[in-house]
Amino acid sequence: MRPEEEEKEKSKHMEKIVESFELYGKQYRLETGELAKQATGAVLVTQGETTCLVTAVVSKEQKDYDFFPLTVDFMEKMYAVGRIPGGYLKREGKASDKGTLTARMIDRPIRPGFADGFKQEVHIVATTLAIDGQNPPDCICVGGASAALLCGGTPFDGPAACVRIARNKETGEFIVNPTYAEQEISDMELTIAGTKDYISMVEAGAQEVTEEDMLAAMEFGQEAIAAFCEKQAEFLAKVAPEPVAYPIHEPEPCIAERVNAHFDEMSAALKDADKQSRMAKVEALKDAIKENDFSDEEREAWKSDIAAACKALEKHAMRKMVIETGERADGRVANEIRPLYIRPGYLPRVHGSGLFQRGQTQVLSVCTLGLLNEAQRLDTIDPQDHRRYMHQYNFPPYCTGEVGRMGAPKRREVGHGALAERALLPVLPSEDEFPYAIRVVSEVLESNGSSSMASTCGSCLALMDAGVPIKAPVSGIAMGLIKEGDDVVILSDIQGLEDFLGDMDFKVTGTEHGITALQMDNKAKGLSTEILGRALMQAKEGRHFILSAMLEQIPAPREELRDTAPRIDTIHIPVDKIREVIGKGGETIRGIQDATGASIDIQEDGTVHIAAVDQDAGRAARAQIEAIVKEPEVGEVYEGPVVGIQSFGAFIKLTPSKDGLLHISRMANGRVGQVEDVLNMGDIVKVQVIEIDPKSGKISLDRLDKPEAPEGSAAAPHREREDRPGREHRDRRPGRSNRESQGSHGDGRTPRRRHRDEQ
């Protein structure tokens, strides 16, 4: 190719291609050809002014893995919302929980779309460039990932898209990709992804929505997905990507033939209700197949292919057992729930706890209550800046009988914790009803499937045991699917084997009245809304069965908090008094907390929450705060120290921020010459408010239980002012001569001043 032709071809590939369109009342834009041109595919995707760059890169070499090596990263850039990151480094660090959940949300509908046998690593990166504060970036990144992959000519079954469906609580109208404001007036948040032909992922949170309404939202969402896929196809038609001949690995046919000869043995090994025993039998059979049916050279050359064939044999045997006999590996029928063991209040001293076990899945959930200022502060691109209810899920290696490293929560743990949190959020009391920050930790002690749903049930038990007045109890169940051609079996309460080798993992949580959360991952490309509807109704039966068992152990939240839990007392103070309660540099409020042992949280609107395990400490803290903001009234009696002395009287501290004047004439019975004859600094005096100046607010006091004036105290006031130590009388009124010894009477007396009314 001549240099000028090469340059022309190069400029052709750099041409910017744009597809702008409107769907369901919102503006979108897909763009490629200008940014990140060295990536396999790169698309700039926009909704409103929220803009994200999604790139896809395919490695140049194949990997010998028995799984598809896809990695998805969602990069939250704080510059996108005009903020500088917090912390010492002032740069983005570890992904937030929201960022992790968004990465998972992109991964789950994209992963099933790749061709079997595609073994090259794929890395998808979604970077937030601008966030307009109205339109979330997550859904458009799924479509951006699909478009980037297809622009690069990868063997991906697309286009794929993702939409969020809300429903206006008043009108019942569905909203596609709602703004944050539109989401506020919705009673559901359904995120659904897939292609124009099938659904691959569902996430939902709802305020006790019925199964029928949720299914209607899914059907509407499937229509919306098809519309976005069509727009993406129009964009790709403009791009006209050249197909790339990526290698698709095909194993030697003899591998499957040799492995499949052991079908009957695998079927027998799978029929064991105990997870560890069954796994041991299956692994022993796989090892025997590798050892006896393949030579050393073959094992070395076909290592991953033999492993994949053994896994395929296990999958085929399990699925055939269910389809043909209706019996599952542990002997249950399709809609049967494993044995339940439920114990609320399992632990002493903690604020609330619940042990929930279903079969060989066991979770201990523990609830902790705290002040609202202990809520989690969020430093993300999301408008939500704090989280009052925190649910955390831990999955240690011992829960599956394995050895492993303990450390920061992985993506799976973050995702499972978020699902259980979403399940319970709709039934939590408001901050006004229950002014506590709430943290629940679910420790998975044993796992054989559906640990996130066990966490939901265990967390509900812990909340009720803690005395949190939830609106309704919540239970959850995981549903599975085995689909072979037209044969479909829906499984209730799936165990790990059925999740791993089945076609669907469909988790449903809710109350007696409706659904609070959903999560579904689908591997079967023929999954229809009709099958989803059947799964929802079967899940409803299972949820109610589990909920009934829970309510037998704890029918309602405890009426009282545990003795170890803080009691929160709420009072309201005038906003202009907040500064007085806090004090200079926080001195006053710290003093109250140190003196009483209570914790105090003051809101900007003057709401004050006082928390203390010891109720006397809480009452003492409240009394001190009320004393600070108290405005004295005429007739009230106080007992306070002398904090100031003047010749005309003494100042008595009535409240931490208010003093009153006790005039010298009201200190004792009889005439008092000097204040110090009766009172000294620090003396405690019982006084009554007799007058409050309406303009200045100055307070006049009268002493109760007056003592008799000391002898000799009355003579002092008759001394001439000029003779008092340290004092010199000078009349500074205009026209006065300031003569010190000669008065106008000629007898040395100081002229008597007339009252203004007499002048």
- Which residues carry a binding-site annotation? 499, 505
Closest CA to 221 of 262, 257, 174, 267: 174
Residue type (1 letter), 547: L
Cα–Cα distance between 102 and 482 in angstroms, integer?
28
Closest CA to 293 of 258, 268, 243, 320: 258
Distances (CA, A) of 692 to 84, 695, 698: 52, 9, 6
Structure tokens at 17: 């291609």
User: Under 8 Å CB-to-CB from 674, ≥6 apart: which residues?
Assistant: 647, 713, 716
Cα–Cα distance between 203 and 194 in angstroms, integer?
12
Q: Is 751 exposed, middle or buried (0-12, 13-18, 19+ CB in 10 A)?
A: exposed
Residue 167 CB coordination number (10 Å): 25
Cα–Cα distance between 595 and 579 in angstroms, integer?
19
Cα–Cα distance between 420 and 451 in angstroms, integer?
10
Cα–Cα distance between 97 and 67 in angstroms, integer?
26
Residue 112: its H or E element: none
Q: Is 574 exposed, middle or buried (0-12, 13-18, 19+ CB in 10 A)?
A: exposed
Distances (CA, A) of 727 to 111, 223, 510, 621: 94, 95, 84, 46
User: Under 8 Å CB-to-CB from 5, ≥6 apart: which residues?
Assistant: none
Cα–Cα distance between 269 and 254 in angstroms, integer?
23
Cα–Cα distance between 35 and 26 in angstroms, integer?
24
Helix (H, G, I), strand (E, B) or coil at 146: helix
Question: What residues form the annotated binding site for Mg(2+)?
Answer: 499, 505
Chain-centre distance of CA 470, in angstroms? 17
Q: How many residues would you count in the chain?
A: 759
Residue 552 CB coordination number (10 Å): 10
The answer to whether the beta carbons of residues 209 and 514 sit under 8 Å apart is yes
Please give the angle made by the CA atoms of 692, 694 and 700, to the nearest 5 degrees: 20
Strands 599-602 and 567-572: unpaired
Structure tokens at 24: 């369901």
Closest CA to 67 of 500, 411, 677, 383: 500
DSSP 8-state assignment for residue 493: S
Cα dihedral 681, 684, 688, 689 sign = positive
First to last CA, the chain: 116
Residue 525 CB coordination number (10 Å): 16
- Helix %, strand %, coil % of the chain (to 5): 35, 30, 35
Q: b/e for 419-440, b at 16 or more Cβ within 10 A?
A: bbbbbbbbbbeebeebbbbbbb
